[in-house]
Each structure stands twice: as structure tokens, then as C-alpha cells.
Amino acid sequence: MFLPLIYKIVQWFLVILLCNNDLIQNITTAVTVIVEPRNVLQAAKTEVFVNCTTSPVEDAQIIWNKGEENIPSYSEGTKDEVYVLPNNTLYLKSLKKKEAGTYTCNAFLTLEKLFQTVVIEVAFLQKLNSIDPVKVLQGYVAEIVCEEPVGKPQPKVKWLYNGATISPDNPNIDSSSWTLRIKKTMLSDAGNYTCVAFNSVAERTAEAKLTVVVVGDVDVSPISDSIKEGESATFKCESKSDPPLNVKWKRDIETCSTTDNSQSVCKVTKEDVIPNDRVIISGGTLSIKNASVKDEGIYLCETELSTQISSAKVQLNVFELMKVDKSLHNEIQTCDRLRQNNTKITCHFRGDGKYSIQWTRLSPNAILNSNMKVVNDSIYISDLKFEDMGQFKCEAVGEYNNATAYVNFIVYEHPQFIISPKNITAYIGEPAWVHCQGKGFPKPRVYILRGKKDGGNLNNSYFVQLPNDTFYIKSLKKEYSGEYFCWLIEQYGSISDTFSITVLEKEVNTGKGSPMGRTVGIAVGCAGVYILLVIGLMIYCRARRARLFKKGKLVEVDGEPLAEDHLLGASDIPLVSIEKLIFNYENLQEIMVLGYGKFGKVFKAYAKGICEEGTDTLVAVKVFEETPVNNVLSAFNKETEDLMQFQNSYVVRLLGLVRESPFCIITEYSELGDLKEYLQTNKNISSSARLHMCTCIAKGMSYLATLHYVHRDLAARNCILFSQNEVKVSFLSLCNTTYKDDYYLLNNLLAPVRWLAPESIRENIYNEKTDVWSFSVTMWEIFSSEVQPFHGVSNEEVVNRIGKDLQLTIPSNCPKTLYKIMTQCWLVNAFDRPTFDELLSLMAEISH
């Protein structure tokens, strides 16, 4: 009954919809876009078809696009590689890599736009990387790793052995992954293995060779060899493994260190033998040419595979040729005739094998005196006389070679007083005589010094030194009262005695009409004028000296300006402070020789009680050895005066003086040694630590510059390293042995030309700006660790080219900002170089 009614209602509703366009636009038809296939992965250069349809409506407008670009429709004669066929199918004629990507099929209906995407990718498989040959000991696990290549679809792997597929049922071989694993290798497992990577589009292969080794011993010949210094040695090494393994040469190295309780602890480590010009490794043969004593030791030939090491040792003995032992031999030997009636002259040689010593006297005649007796390496002299002086030659006749040394023997007498000075008491204006005479050989010079700093010094405006060494004072003054020293000084020793001068005032009548009053007035007036003239002259000389120094026109000599008041006897340093530094040579316990400088040996020692009673202090001792060719006493006193002025945390302190032969200057030292030695043995030093070292040196040099002191030999070898990377400037200058390669004979003097400014080399000019140049080279040393400046360039070239076309390059671990500062210090015009104070400011900016 209701069905006809419902049918009528539906008919009316459809008629209304068909007649009302607005209503039609608000109703959405359930239409879908179908793209087949949804994802395409095909090989390159193949055809691709992707269908696009709509359902249930089939008359929708279809447009394909890739990104913002629409795909064109097919037309007759088209040259397009990608287009849409008349049935709305996307067509790619020959798939290329550039055509891969996401494509969109857009369906435009009356009421809406629908779309669906498809991803088209190019299938590929990359080539396999090569596989290194694998060696494994018989019975050990073997693994052959094949690196999985990139590919789409994701590749799979299979393994072949000698061209045949490896069975997955083999319990000893796991071939299911990219790493082929043989659990326990047998000789039959050796051969060629092939890794095969494959997917739907390609197949790639890589070959690997597996060698199964039967381990054997190592044979060497000869097992030991003994050669002379300078000869060559050859050792052959052969692996007896099957097949033979490659051999490697190593060497036992013994290193020793000192513990906190001063015990020596040594350990032996193995280090690879590094080939060089003398040491050649070819195959299993080790050849050592021009051998030195340092080449002596135990060498090891090793083969190593997995954890199995086979080795054999060989022993190389190098017999040292006979030579002068420079660490012990003194070419100049002296003796005080008054203190030693019997003595000996000794030559020191070193070398292996038996040897004998032959002595010859060269001057003043070729005959040994009757009081001389040869015993081995020494000539013993009894009843010593001045006639025993002369030059001697000693020749060591050894098993392998001969060596010759020379000794210049000097006999002297320590100064003694013939007449000691007496205390003087006299009145103002009266004359006075100071009788102070001495003897010795060579004849000592006589000086009078005032004992207190505030009293000034006697000089030739006060007294006249007579030929018999009596000092005459024409007219005493009240201010002459005080304590004085009379010094007898000669090349090999000195001695002093004290006396006092007391000047009394006279009671005189100074009335207006008195002749005595007029005399006193005239005398006082003249004295006043004289004093004013002296003071004015002193002020003028000091001002002129300061100007000359500032302009760099005042030439430095041996570390400080040449000055009129630099003679012994004209120093204003109080002798009381010198006396406090006097130290007994017998309280020095020598540890080792550091080297030799211009005036003699420098050694490291413990000084008992030098800083604190009963305590040993590590010190450096600089010996001034007596020679007939240099004024050692003058140099000793000069360096003493210099060091006594220095009171700075970044300059080594003077701790003591030995003022009798052998003259010694004792300064502080460190277990870490000099900076150059430390840099050579410690490579892993941070840049900040190196910069701190540079800053310490700059602070020390800035202090010395304020005293107008010029170092002349600033380098890493002349800086001492203390704890916490603190560095102090020192003055050791080991130019004759340890660091002799850093010096070059320039104008008949040894000079560190690689550190010197051009004006120092060519014009002998030394001042703060030349020290700045040397400081910059020292900074370069610190950041270059062990390399010598201008390494590979001869000293002659350095002398000729420095300041022209030769400059140090930036070290590998040096900040560019710091190297820029270095180059400012190497400006040819000295006035353009920074001062040490300016350098400290520039370096502080880098630190921050």
C-alpha cells in the first residue's frame, strides 16, 4: 500500500534536483581516482606505463604533472620522452635517472578536483668495493668482509668458493651474511672466494684470496756481529712460515728515570727501526752504515699474524774508536804553586780496546823536566816550578786507531799581601797614605773599594795610585770616613783585607779678621764649587748615556753597555752582599756535565746549604777556567755584577759564588732542564702551554730591558723550565759542546747566527730590538718543538740571506695571530719592531 507512494515521492525529488542548478552544486558525487601501479621500480632505459582512471564517473578531465610542470599529451611526431597517452595513461619511453620522482594524476569533475600520486624510481646496484687478501693461521677463525653496496631493490648476497656456490649446509662456514666466517680454518679452505651481490636489475662480484698459513720460526743470520765505529753491518731475516710472512725489524730501547727518592728506574721497550740515510731495510735485510756507538744493542726480527708472534734476536756490538773525551778533558790545566807542590797533568780519552798514552812536551822545549814522571794518562810533577809551564801533547795509541789531545799547563801563585793596609786616623785637610802591596804570579792588581753603598767609591779624584801600589790622598774630607777593602786581584785568584779611615775635625779660630777664617772660607768655597762641578758632570754623562742607549747607538759588549765605570773597583754594589754569596766549592756535589761554554765547564750539582742549612738544592754551576788567552777574572766579576742586579721571577737567581780557583757562578736550576731539551722529548704540549712559556720569557726579557741589559744569546737552550710550565731566562750559553751546532764562527767569535738580527751579524749592533728578534725566533722554536731554525740551510747562507729573502715559515701548530707578531719582530728596520712591553700586551690579547 505504501510502495507506490514512496515511488512517487522519489520521482518528485529527482525532478526538483534536475531543475535546481544551485542545489546540484552543493552535492558531492562519491568519485575516486585510481592509479595503477602506485609505485614503480624499474631498470633504467625501460618503458613505464601508469594508468589513471576515475570511478564511477568516467568522463572526468585528467591532467598529469610532476611538481609544477604539467606532462604534455601525445601528439603525432612528438619528440617528448614523457607524455600522456589518449587513454590518460602516463608513458615514459626510456626511464632515466632525471625522470624519476613523484607524478600526480589530477581528475577535474564538475564539483571538485581529485588526485592520486605515483612514485617512479630507477632500480640500480652499485659496484662492490675490492676485498683485501686475508691471511689466517691454520685452526684460527677467518673472516672475509664484503661491504654491502647501495642498491634498489635492497641487494642480497651469496658466496662462491673457487667458482662454486658454498653450500648452506656446511657447518664450518657461515655464508648467510655479508661477512663470510670460517670457524676453524684448514689448509683446504685456502683459495679464491667470490662475494656476489644481486637484486632484480643487476649482479656485482668481488674476489678475495684466503691464505691459510702454517706458522713457522724466524731465522736470522748472523745472530751477532761486532764492528768498529764507522763500519757497516748487515743482518738477514727469513720467515719459515708456509707461505712466508712479512718481517719487521724492532729494537730494544732502555729508558731510565729518577724517582722522588732519587732512585734510578729503567725499563726496556721495543720500538720500530726507522729507516734513514744510514739505516736501510730491504725485504728482510737490515743494513746499518757508518755505525756509531748509539747503534749498539739488541735488534729483533718479527713476524706477526693474529695474536701469534714469532721473533729472533741479533746482537750488534760497536767498538768505539779512540777519541778525546770532551766531557772530561781540559785543554787548559792550572796549578797554584803555593798550595800544591805536587800535581799532575791528565789527558782523558775514550774508546774500546787496550791503548797506551805517549806524552810529548811541545814548549818551551821538547824535553820533560827531571821532576816529571809519566804514568799512563798523566804526567806527575813534583817540586812544582814556574819552568814546568808549557804545552804538552798526549797521543792515545789504540787497537783500532790513534787520537791526539793537547794540554796547556799553567803555573801561578795565588795573591798574598806583602803589606796589609792599616787603619788611618787624621784631620780634615791633611794628606794620607794607604800602604797596600801584594805579590803573586801573574802580578796582582791592587784596588781599593768602599765597604758601604751609601759611602760611594774612592776614585782618582780622591787619590793617586803610586807605582809601588801606595794610595795617596792629598786632602782628607769628613765624608771619607768609613770602612774600606783593599783587593789583590789577578787572573787566577783574589784576596782582600779591610781597613778604616777616620777623619777628625780641627778646633780652629774662625774670627772675621782671622787669617785662618779666611783660609777656611776659601777652602769651603772651592770645595763647594768642585762638588757642584762633579755633580753636574755626572748628570750630563748619565743623560747622554741614556739618549745613546735609547737610539741604539751604544754598542753592547758581552751582555751590557760598554761603560767607563764597568771596571772592577768601580762598582756601587756593596761588598757586604757579595760576601754573603761566597760558597765553598767542596759543598758542591756534581751530578752531570751539561756542556762547555766560552769560559769552561757547566755542570748540574747539588749545593749543600746554599739556600737553607742542611738542605741540598739543585743548581747549575758555571766554571770560569783559567786560561792565558782570556781575562777570566774580568769576565767572572762582570757576570757576577750583572746577576746580582737581577731580582725577577722570570730570570734565574744568583745563589752563590766560588771566588777562588776554580771560579764558579752558581744559579738556580730545575729537574726539567733547559727548554730546548724538554721540547725535544715532549711532543704533546698544548698551544696554550706553549704560549704561556713564551709569555714567561717575554716577562723576563722585559725586566732585563728596564735594566738596559742585552742578552745577545736568547734561545730555548738558554731558558730553564720549572714546574707549571714556568720558564726563566738563563745565561748558560753552551757553545762548545752540547749545542755547538747552534753556533757559527763569525768575526773570530762563536755566534748564534740563526737567532741574531741582521744588524747584529753585519754591524755588531746589540740592543733591546735585537733581543726582540731573538725572542721571536725562540717563540718559533717553542711552537716547532725540536726543529732548528732554518733547518737545511747552511750557516753561511743564513749570514748572507737573513733580513733579505730568508724568513722562518709558520709552524704547523702555531696560531696565525701569534705568527703575525713574530713577523713584526723580524722587520728589517729595528725601530719598527715592538718592545718587550708591547709584545706582552699583544700576547695578552691572544691569551684572552
What CA–CA distance (Å, rounded) separates 270 from 316?
Answer: 16
At a CB cut-off of 8 Å and minimum separation 6, what does 220 contact?
A: 235, 236, 237, 238, 301, 312, 313, 314
Distance of CA 824 to the CA centre of its chain: 22
At a CB cut-off of 8 Å and minimum separation 6, what does 614 contact?
A: 608
Helix, strand or coil, per DSSP, at residue 796: helix
At a CB cut-off of 8 Å and minimum separation 6, what does 319 contact?
A: 226, 227, 228, 229, 351, 352, 353, 400
Element (H, E) at 299: strand 297-305
Residue 129 backbone phi and psi in degrees, to 5: -70, 150
According to DSSP, residue 550 is labeled H
Residue 663 backbone phi and psi in degrees, to 5: -65, 135
| Helix segments in 646-686, DSSP class H | 675-681
Helix, strand or coil, per DSSP, at residue 6: helix
What CA–CA distance (Å, rounded) separates 828 from 830?
Answer: 6
According to DSSP, residue 558 is labeled T
The owner of cell 730591558 is 705
Cβ count within 10 A of residue 157? 18
CA-closest candidate to residue 620, choices 579, 670, 570 = 670
Alpha-carbon distance values, 163 to 143, 182, 206 (Å) = 19, 17, 12
Half-sphere exposure of 109 (CA within 13 A, CB side): 20
Burial of 51 (0-12, 13-18, 19+ CB in 10 A): middle
**Three cell numbers, residue 157:** 648476497
Q: Burial code of 570-588, b = ≥16 C-beta within 10 A, e = fewer?
A: ebeebbeebeebebebeeb
User: CB of 675 within 8 A of CB of 716?
Assistant: yes
CA-closest candidate to residue 66, choices 112, 114, 118, 109 = 118
User: CB of 684 within 8 A of CB of 690?
Assistant: no
What CA–CA distance (Å, rounded) separates 791 from 775?
Answer: 18
User: CB of 682 within 8 A of CB of 729?
Assistant: no
CA-closest candidate to residue 833, choices 701, 720, 713, 744 = 701
What CA–CA distance (Å, rounded) separates 28 from 476?
Answer: 135
What CA–CA distance (Å, rounded) separates 622 from 663?
Answer: 8
Helix, strand or coil, per DSSP, at residue 206: strand
CA-closest candidate to residue 597, choices 654, 639, 647, 555 = 639
Distance of CA 660 to the CA centre of its chain: 38
According to DSSP, residue 740 is labeled G
Half-sphere exposure of 782 (CA within 13 A, CB side): 35
Look up 469 and say whether it is catalytic: no
CA-closest candidate to residue 711, choices 644, 767, 636, 782 = 767
Length of the chain counted residue by residue: 848
User: CB of 674 within 8 A of CB of 707?
Assistant: no
Burial of 449 (0-12, 13-18, 19+ CB in 10 A): buried
β-partners of residue 43 are 123
Distance of CA 323 to the CA centre of its chain: 31
Q: Say which of 336, 377, 713, 742 is annotated catalytic.
A: 713
Q: Which amino acid, residue 304?
A: E
Catalytic residues, by residue number, are: 713
